[in-house]
Chain A
């Protein structure tokens, strides 16, 4: 006992009875949650369903919940030593066995993923305990956390000045690195597409503070605009690109016009509704959009009129003959990669620039206080419409890229989940933070693509990441705002009140 209470001199004696009661209650709740859905599995058998039991999993869930709860209580009651002593070896053993694949011998779970989660939780607990042992304080108040996170955000943004160019340089030479095969490049293209979409949505959500849950609709409009123009009017990618952006922006403005005066959460639901309406229309308007079959045979982009094909069509030249290269299908992939990279960079430059213009400042002011904006003579509706329209425009650009890359599009690619993923990228990165979007996209899109095993847990992780980050920091993980212009350059940096 003397050892246990050494961490906090002022610690009250531990009330074992209350602790058991609290942990027991948590176990009971966990049992209630797990019993139905974890305990029984519905199996598809010919002629209906059969049921299978997984009570061992339920037991594991309950035991782990109780252990976790006890650890939380101990941390709360300033007794971190015990948690550290038990938690650390436990997590280390678990992680080692997971890495080497021994976990099947002593863990009851059907998947390594569960083992990883348990190991991570144990690691988090023991790290918190160690932190408490070394700093003597376990519970940080919300304001303290907010301040710490803001400082980290500021540091990341300062670091972004150096890391950004490095990342960019890496992105530029990526196709020529030895390990960059087709799969890596495809993942690269995907990640950069989401970075671009994230940057586009960041204008709407991060700067203007308008929660748009139907962002994918504009992506869809861009895709279909390009596909239809290319298929029916035989227009090239470069001609269609501005048009697709324009169509998406127009859709944004038309949809936004009636709804942008709605309050934040209503606006979110209405944009979700619009997103679904557009998807249902695409799904059912057979003559025009091909319905669920989608559109196929969408032309690939050309490099200033040079096709990426082995043999040139009549009167055209191909990329490899023009440059005297050996034909290789990867040339097109590399080209697509650079194409989206440039498009994404333009989005970024545009955003950085417009933030410093009156309209960008008005967006942020609107996010902060719409009523004050009105009293200063700012037209809230037009200002919001520009944000909405510009955000939609970038989605439209990205959409036409998506169409030309895939060569095939169907409404399936434009579901609400897609909007939610883009939103998760923005939120996770920290609303308004450009570098945050990059990290979030690599983390959320890149990692699950590289580790295919993680695929089925990807959406689960998305969901929990959104929840955890909002609880941890409602303004987003790396959110930090630097003023767009300074009066006393460097002399008196913006500081916290002491």
Chain B
């Protein structure tokens, strides 16, 4: 129960309280509350249609929640995410995300994808374009720094030698890694990953585990993870939230969730049947 102890000590990074999202008559999420902390991987699991991606879309400002408070405790000040525009959530509160169906900039190079992720920082360095147009050395310096940071992440996701490829030409697994690296280049406090292991082979899955634990341990940020691949979830998450039909049915450590009868009934039971395939 060491994780439970950690929970009490660590400061919560994200507080989701009574989150409800309705689309017309359809209730996608119903009164869900949970918390995520720095330096931890929190997994959100649940059967298809349980409302996991909707939670992400509310967190990252793509949907306005019908009811609920989403508080992000940024080192400088708390942010109410439900009141913020999507791009500000990424820019100010430092919430970065990836997408279920990868959204890279396919016609731009791998390096450019990562540079674009550092847009706001570079925008300031370029004096909102004016100084950059004049070609001042301060901007060139900032750009070099940005490239160095890209190189750091490229090394991490093993894409350095393909840095000048078009992102769209990368194989699938590499695109997944690139999308995570791109999200990290925004220097987030909270990283939300929507099914990062989908479509990966077992070796790539292992690499992903390594990458995610690296992000947690070295960068000390919170990671929120939607995943179906139980080998990933159970191995690396510190804390699991289980959703079913838009409701939270369980919340705790992997061991606790694994043995929770409600979860077994709603989810893991089904998963074992699927496990054969």
Binding site for B on A (CB under 8 A): 350, 353-354, 357-359, 361-362, 364-365, 368-369, 371-380, 386, 481, 483-488, 492-497
User: Which B residues are in CB contact (< 8 Å) with A493?
Assistant: 164
| Interface stretch of the complex, out of B83-91, B248-256, B257-265 | B83-91
Is B106 on the interface with A (CB-CB < 8 A)? yes
User: Which A residues are in CB contact (< 8 Å) with B104?
Assistant: 368-369, 372
Is B220 on the interface with A (CB-CB < 8 A)? no
Tell me whether A380 and B105 are in contact (CB under 8 A): no
Distance between B265 CB and nearest chain A CB, rounded to angstroms? 35
18 extra interface residue pairs, beta carbon distance < 8 Å, beyond A362-B123, A379-B87: A358-B116, A358-B123, A361-B116, A364-B112, A372-B103, A373-B116, A375-B99, A376-B96, A376-B117, A377-B90, A377-B91, A377-B119, A377-B186, A378-B120, A379-B91, A380-B87, A484-B112, A495-B165
Distance between B197 CB and nearest chain A CB, rounded to angstroms? 19
Interface size class, chain B: 35 or more
Chain A CB within 10 A, most for which of B103, B139, B151, B182: B103
A-contact 0/1 string along B101-130, CB 8 Å cutoff? 001111111011001110110110110110
Distance between B156 CB and nearest chain A CB, rounded to angstroms? 14
Q: Bound complex: CA of A235 vs CA of B41, how far in Å?
A: 66
Tell me whether A492 and B162 are in contact (CB under 8 A): yes
> Can you list 30 contacts pairing A with B, beta carbon distance less than 8 Å?
A358-B115, A358-B116, A361-B115, A362-B119, A364-B107, A371-B62, A374-B90, A375-B60, A375-B96, A375-B99, A376-B116, A376-B186, A377-B87, A377-B90, A378-B116, A379-B87, A386-B129, A481-B107, A484-B112, A485-B147, A486-B164, A487-B147, A487-B154, A488-B163, A488-B164, A494-B164, A494-B169, A495-B169, A496-B169, A497-B170
Q: Bound complex: CA of A17 vs CA of B264, how far in Å?
A: 67
Partner of A377, one of B105, B120, B126, B163: B120
Tell me whether B119 and A485 are in contact (CB under 8 A): no
Closest 6 CB pairs between A and B?
A377-B91, A377-B90, A487-B163, A368-B105, A483-B109, A372-B103
Tell me whether A368 and B119 are in contact (CB under 8 A): no
Is B25 on the interface with A (CB-CB < 8 A)? no
State which residues 113-160 of B face A: CB under 8 Å.
Answer: 115-117, 119-120, 122-123, 125-126, 128-129, 132-133, 135, 139, 143, 147, 150-151, 154, 160
Is B161 on the interface with A (CB-CB < 8 A)? yes
Given A350-B133, A358-B119, A359-B129, A374 contacting B150 (CB threshold 8 A): no
Given A354-B133, A368-B108, A372-B103, A362 contacting B116 (CB threshold 8 A): yes
Tell me whether B112 and A483 are in contact (CB under 8 A): yes
User: Which B residues are in CB contact (< 8 Å) with A377?
Assistant: 87-92, 119-120, 186
State which residues 61-111 of B face A: CB under 8 Å.
Answer: 61-62, 86-92, 96-97, 99, 103-109, 111
Distance between A33 CB and nearest chain B CB, rounded to angstroms? 38
Tell me whether B103 and A497 are in contact (CB under 8 A): no
Q: Across the two chains, which residue of chain A brings its CB closest to B179?
A: A372
Is B15 on the interface with A (CB-CB < 8 A)? no
Tell me whether B103 and A371 are in contact (CB under 8 A): yes
Is B171 on the interface with A (CB-CB < 8 A)? yes
Partner of A357, one of B88, B126, B160, B183: B126
